[in-house]
Amino acid sequence: MPNTQIASDFLVIGGGIAGLSFALKAAAIGNVAVLAKAGSADANTSYAQGGIASVWSVDDSFESHIEDTLKAGAGLCNRAAVEAIVRDGPEVVRDLIRLGTRFTRVPEGNEHEYDLGREGGHSHRRVLHAQDLTGQEIMRALWEKVRARPNITFYDENLAIDLLIANRGRTGARCWGAYALDRRTGAIRKFLAPFTLLATGGAGKVYLYTTNPDIASGDGVAMAYRAGVPIGNMEFYQFHPTCLYHPEAKSFLISEALRGEGAILKLPNGDPFMKRYSADAELAPRDIVARAIDAEMKRLGLDCVYLDLSHRGADFIRRRFPNIYTRCAALGIDITREPIPVVPAAHYMCGGVVTDLHARTAVSGLYAAGEVAMTGLHGANRLASNSLLEAAVMARRAYLDIAEQISAGPPAAPPDFSAWNPGRAIRSDERVLVTQSWDEIRRLMWNYVGIVRSDRRLERARRRLALLREEIHSYYWDHLIDSDLIELRNLVVVAELIVRSAICRTESRGLHYNVDHPATDDEHWLHDTIVRE
């Protein structure tokens, strides 16, 4: 009889920088179970190219980083969150260095001096990077330490289904872990723990075109929403301006750092166009750059625009961007001599599970860190390379808060949650219903709830998603579940949350642009959009 219950002191759902950073710290005081849908290489963190933003140079200051973040957030940042996370930045960077992360150093400079990049919206060079493979390098360092800790058990190919909540919807509601599907065997088990960290990343797969890996289906947000946790600011989905446009280049990001190093956006005839949209040109915040590209593509009927760094010289380009150079070269594009075809793509979820500055949610025992969470750092638009910063800082803050609680006394024993019961569900013999719904959601979101929105498009999306949710709900409970069905169930929840939030916000601000309400309305909308089940 297989074991249907696994107990630990801490449950981490997600295997990126937030989840593994927390696991390493928590392992000092207890046993940790880490659930990951796939291997560490598929975490959103591994896809991060640009770097981690932190005040590091003597020429920089906390005040400057704070102001840059507030400006990018278009009036919706929580200043307390911005100040706390920015000021914690150097310490978490030192943590990553102590763990073995090898950030790029200044060529032929002081052996202790790091090469700091500058990206859109930043007033100073403050982005520590590992060439253009920062996420992979951070994950390498974290993963080496995780494997060396005997009290961290990593359950890859395990997909969380729903959170285990006692007293749901009442005073004293508490999370005690989650049900999870072993994607290899089909077994569903209870993972019990008095403290659970959601670190599931974003939801880029809700859109047709995205820079995210295939596993980014918004599972953490959907599970928290079903558990009664408030979700905030889902209308603010960041579209990265530059994703490689090529039929063989699925989801390949062209880093913000290229524009930080002088790359110029051009039309097919070679004309630059960004100065017509912003005095900051290519270094404008991402929402402005993405909308400018979208506008030019629609105005001229283009499939893409072009990003040109060839004027910086071949040696510099190959040294600074070896990953991008190699990937493009494999597709027949020599970025040292010709521009890169690019299009915008869904990139980062600025909203999410509402937390405080200790990563606590509204349900006791449930924490959230990283892209899945809404701390107030990003507001209406994320400043480039603040994402890895937030994930590392909030994982650390979650650990410190939990450690303090444990020092005051051990948590109570968990209630008796029943084993997973499939009821009368049967195996599906019509998988086309799942694939059709998946495709419809993603196309609908891209066409109606993308970079530019309108009241009519949003209302159409709302009506169609309501029908899809009913169809998916019925199918979910009638059939034995697998990972595709779980992700589809979560995807339609996230899509509806984005649409509901976008309909509520009758203005344009940051990443949310509605042609029927093009002005920013500080009198009525200088606050967050919070939705509950």
Give the active site residues. Answer: 286
Cβ atoms within 10 Å of 234's Cβ, excluding its own: 29
Tokens representing 443 are 């196309």
Pairing of strands 373-374, 305-308: unpaired
Pairing of strands 264-266, 305-308: antiparallel
Tokens representing 41 are 């290489």
Q: Please, which residues have CB within 8 angstroms of residue 245's CB and are 6 or more apart in sequence? A: 303, 304, 341, 342, 343
CA distance 118 to 256: 9
Task: Compute the half-sphere exposure of residue 311: CA atoms within 13 Å on the CB side of its CA.
Answer: 8
Q: Are 512 and 505 in contact (CB under 8 A)?
A: yes
CA distance 222 to 353: 9
Strand order in the sheet with 352-354: 373-374, 352-354, 231-232, 530-531
CA distance 337 to 340: 10
Q: Are 52 and 93 in contact (CB under 8 A)?
A: yes
Beta-sheet strands, E only, within 257-393: 264-266, 305-308, 340-349, 352-354, 366-368, 373-374
> Residue 379: what residue type?
G
Pairing of strands 174-182, 158-166: antiparallel
Task: Compute the half-sphere exposure of residue 391: CA atoms within 13 Å on the CB side of its CA.
Answer: 35
Query: What three-state secondary structure class fits 53?
Result: strand
Beta-sheet strands, E only, within 195-258: 195-198, 231-232, 237-244
Name the one residue in this structure whose structure tokens are 């060396």: 148
Tokens representing 507 are 């203005």
∠ CA 359-47-201, nearest 5°, is: 30
CA distance 479 to 486: 11
Q: Are 286 and 293 in contact (CB under 8 A)?
A: no
CA distance 348 to 522: 24
